[in-house]
Structure 1
Amino acid sequence: MPLIALGLNHLTAPVSLREQVAFDTDAAGEALHELAREPGVEEAMILSTCNRTELYVGVAAGAEDIPQAWLNRHHHLTPGKLDEFLYRHDEDDAVRHMFRVATGLDSMVLGEPQILGQVKDAYQLAREAQSLKAPMDRLLQHTFAVAKRVRTDTRIGAHTVSVAFTAVRLAEQVFADLKHACVLLIGAGDTIELAARHLAEKQVRRLIVANRTPETAQELAGRHGGYAIALADLPQHLAEADIVISSTAARQPIVTRAMVERAMAARKRKPMFMVDIAVPRDIEAGVGELPDVYLYGIDDLRQVIDDNLRSRAAAAHEAEAIIDLQVERYMAWRRALTLKNPALDMRQHAEVYRDEVLGKARAMLAHGKSPDEALAFLANTLTNKLLHHPSARLREAALSGDLDLLHAAGRLYGLDEEEGGGSRNA
């Protein structure tokens, strides 16, 4: 069963395309069911974040093109539209890619820790959808162990710089002193939680948290000294914000150009700095064309992040070495699944012989033979049947001088252990 990793990410596709193929949490479960029902698809997992959408699929031989065709069809895309942006990894390369993703080696921020939690969420979703079988389930367990080892044995996670931290750092470059800034956070997920933590450390003048669920916004705002508003009240509060950082799972923009135009008029053209970390985007692209509005998207953060990449190059090299070793170990286990197991064949033959001889022994009893006679027949016949082929092969080995086979037989039947045990007890 070939294993395929198919997807696109921040390195291969612009955000305008990534948002077209993103799966939100509510839709991913049904999409998994749909993908798993495709002809030739044996197991599947979908990983969808702000920086990537990836399908991990085990397929039957000859069905390798099914995942890409399904992705186009599911998102109603013209065939071929994704071709130049997609990457595909097969077998051990797919395993290596999954390890690199989970350890943060393939992230925009090298070594960032959030991706591992996102992979775990994708795994849990696939388990709930019952779209995994033993090979991929084992792969995910192995992935989590590899990620833990990389974190423990290298400095890839030292001084972690997350996307949220990068957004705050960029805001700090625009506003020299964040203590005088009012910051509006839209959303309440991990990225916004991290941003709120960093902003609280910077002692921003005011922190506002907007979320579709007011209770969730209140919990987050309460932890960091801010106050919460409902998403529906966003237009009334937007003009207060010097800095806006948004990261939600909404399928349509939350902040429109018209909304920002009204806010800027109320601010009397006082500049507003906006960072949209979401995919699909939360802030309409046209907002960036407005005077005195400085809009940065997820892809615009790359320059700030590049400095972090250089400082972690050595740790990344060590992590790659760990991953190479673990890829081979997982693939060895996977290859073993396809090998014919002689132990199973041997047991099957033995059970056939047993049932045959047992049937004859019972027939002897039914025809008046004594139990002792039937038991003697059962024991002698079963012994002869089970040992006939091994004995014949061993006689041939003795005549031809095949010592390897003779020694292997001794190990197989434990005869060498019996000999060693006898000499020790003597």
Structure 2
Amino acid sequence: MTLIAVGLNYNTAPLAIRERLAFPADMLDSALQELGRIKEISEAAILSTCNRTEFYCKTEEPNQQILIDWVAHSRNIRPDDFAPYLYCHTDTQLIRHMFRVASGLDSMILGEPQILGQMKSAYQAALEAGTIGKQLGKLFQSTFAAAKKVRTDTAIGSSPVSVAFAAVQMAQQIFDKLSDQTALLIGAGETIELTARHLAQQGIGRLIIANRTYDKAHTLAMQFNGFAIALSELPEHLDAADIVISSTASQLPILGKGRVESALKKRKHKPIFMVDLAVPRDIEAEVEQLNDVYLYTVDDLKNVIDQNMNSRRRAAEQAEEIIDTQVGHFLAWLRAQGAQTTIQDYRRQAEQIRNETLQKAFAMLKNGTPPEEALNRLAHSLTNKLIHTPSAQIRAAAENERHDLVAAAREILKLQHTQ
């Protein structure tokens, strides 16, 4: 039996190919059921995200062609269209790969935490589909444990590496509790959506989204229990904002010094934290001159992000050492599973000898043999039968100069040297 992973990711395949091999959540169960019906595959799981699709299987042989043929049929795509982008890992390589993926070491953004949740979802889907068995199940559990240890023992995920996350983290440093604050987001693009998501996750008290197109602002605000305003309404709402984060495609500034100054007067000079993520700028540079404004630009955040990325790279080196150790632990478990059949056969043989000897002892008692004599014969017979085959094998090994087997027998049987 072999553990195998076949997949592609943002490094090996363009988006157009990744899209065609993606498995939406509502397709996973049927896809796993199909995989499970392939006679060469005894266990299977599928990880599918925007950045990667990977198939983890336990197979009779390390033959990736089985998976390539199935994917081609399942996704209605020619093998030649996607096979050049694939990678394949087996056994130790696979274990290390899964540990690194779950720990964020193989992600587009080093150390990002979302992949661990996606890996857990892949495991749960396979569990519900009935395609997870002992080995793959243990591998997933070991993967989660390794990723948790990396998160706990290193700083891989403690520093923000996106401008949206960096902006929200800076806001957290300035305000004791975001739940008491109002955030005004200007724009409705991807960066603002990500910022809104981070703010919502951190429990922002009130969220306002302003955009030139009101409908876009309203659609985004509905996702995060906020409310929308048109860009023209900014003057009426700016004084309510403790946090202002802007990212639009405007060629001219949206907030000037005079407008912000008016808002500060209404706030009785209660400070405003402002982040301008736009290029060109949405907030006039002169706003920084106001005493009660803390204004940061995308360049300010870039410096923070670069420093944090260096911190993550150093943490990644520590993470690799942790993964080396965790891979060793899982390999030791696998090796122990390889001996399990031998242990079971040995126990079955010993139990058979015990039962046969016990039946003879019962017969002796039934025929009137004194109990003490019957017990002595039982012990003598049982001992002789249990040691007969090992003794004969050790003797044969010595006669054939197989000193390694004799030494192994001494170690397995824990024999002490006698004088």
Identity %: 43
Q: Does 1:183 align with 2:184?
A: no
Deviations 1:224-248 (A, max 9, x none): xx139xxxxxxxx9999xxxxxxxx
Aligned pairs, number: 330
1:221 matched to 2:212? The reply is no
Cα drift, residue 365 of structure 1: 6.1
| Superposed counterparts of 1:345-384, under 5 Å | 345-362=345-362, 368-370=367-369, 372=371, 375=375, 377-384=377-384
Distance 1:8 1:392, change over 3 A: closer
Q: Which moved more, 1:341-350 or 1:145-154?
A: 341-350
Task: Determine if the alignment matches structure 1 residue 150 to structure 2 residue 150.
Answer: yes
- CA distance in 2 between counterparts of 1:413 and 1:121 reads 46
Name the stretch that deviates more: 46-55 or 379-388. Answer: 379-388
Report what 1:83 is aligned to: 83
**What is the CA distance between 1:329 and its match in structure 2?**
2.4
Deviation at 1:202, TM superposition (A): 12
**1:333-358 CA-partner distances (Å, limit 9, x unpaired):** 21332246654343222122123233
Look up the equivalent residue of 2:355 and give its one-letter code.
Answer: D
SS at match of 2:106: coil
List aligned pairs for 1:159-174, cutoff 5 A.
159-161=159-161, 165=165
- Within-5 A mapping of 1:101-250: 101-161=101-161, 165=165, 181-183=186-188, 193-194=197-198, 205-206=209-210, 208=217, 210=219, 220-222=223-225, 226-227=226-227
1:47, distance to aligned residue in structure 2 (A):
0.8
Contact 2:6 2:64 in 1 (8 A): no
Question: Shift of residue 197 of structure 1?
Answer: 5.4
Distance in 2, Cα, partners of 1:114 & 1:407:
48
Structure 2 residues without counterparts, runs of 5 or longer: 170-182, 212-216, 233-248, 252-301
Structure 1 stretches lacking a partner, 5+ long: 170-177, 212-216, 229-236, 241-268, 272-303, 420-426
Q: How does 1:404-419 map to 2 (within 5 A)?
A: 412=413
Shift of 1:311: 5.0
Of stretches 146-155 and 74-83 in structure 1, the one that deviates more from structure 2 is 146-155
- Please state how far the C-alpha of 1:131 moved relative to its aligned partner: 1.1
- Report the TM-score, using the length of structure 2 for normalisation: 0.64
In 1, are the aligned partners of 2:196 and 2:224 still within 8 Å (CA)?
Answer: no
Give the 3 Å change call, closer, same or farther, for CA 97–393 of structure 1 in structure 2: closer
Mapped to 1, the partners of 2:161 and 2:35 lie a distance apart of 35
- Matches of 1:344 and 1:154 in 2, distance apart? 41
Q: CA, structure 1 residues 31+348, in 2 after alignment: closer, same or farther (shift >3 Å)?
A: same
RMSD (Å) for aligned C-alpha atoms: 4.5
Give 1:55 deviation, angstroms: 0.8
| Amino acid aligned to 2:326 | Q
**d(CA) in 1 for partners of 2:148 and 2:416?**
43
Which residue of structure 2 aligns with residue 12 of structure 1?
A: 12
* 2:84 match: secondary structure: coil
Alpha-carbon displacement from aligned partner over 1:161-201 (angstroms, at most 9, x marks no partner): 359648999xxxxxxxx957243789x9x997337559969
1:249-328 equivalences under 5 Å are 307=306, 309-310=309-310, 312-328=312-328
The 3-state SS of whatever aligns with 1:111 is coil
* 1:62 Cα deviation from its structure 2 partner: 5.7
| Alpha-carbon distance in 2 for matches of 1:383, 1:70 | 56
Distance 1:27 1:4 in 2: 22
Q: Secondary structure at the match of 1:119?
A: helix
Contact conserved, 1:6 with 1:89, CA < 8 A, in 2? Answer: yes
SS of the residue corresponding to residue 122 of structure 2 reads: helix
Q: Is the 8 A contact 2:159 2:312 kept in 1?
A: no
SS at 1:82's partner residue? helix
Contact 2:357/2:382 (8 A) holds in 1: yes
Partners of 2:2 and 2:62 within 8 A in 1:
no
Name the CA shift for 1:63/1:9 in 2 (closer, same or farther; >3 Å).
closer
Counterparts of 2:34 and 2:195 in 1: how far apart (Å)?
29
1:121 and 1:191 map into 2 onto residues whose CA distance is 24
Per the alignment, residue 279 of structure 2 pairs with: none
> Conserved in 1, the CA contact under 8 Å of 2:168 and 2:195?
no
Decide whether aligned partners of structure 1 residues 59 and 184 sit closer, same or farther in structure 2, where only a CA change above 3 A counts: same
TM-score by length of 1: 0.63
CA distance in 2, matches of 1:64, 1:192: 42
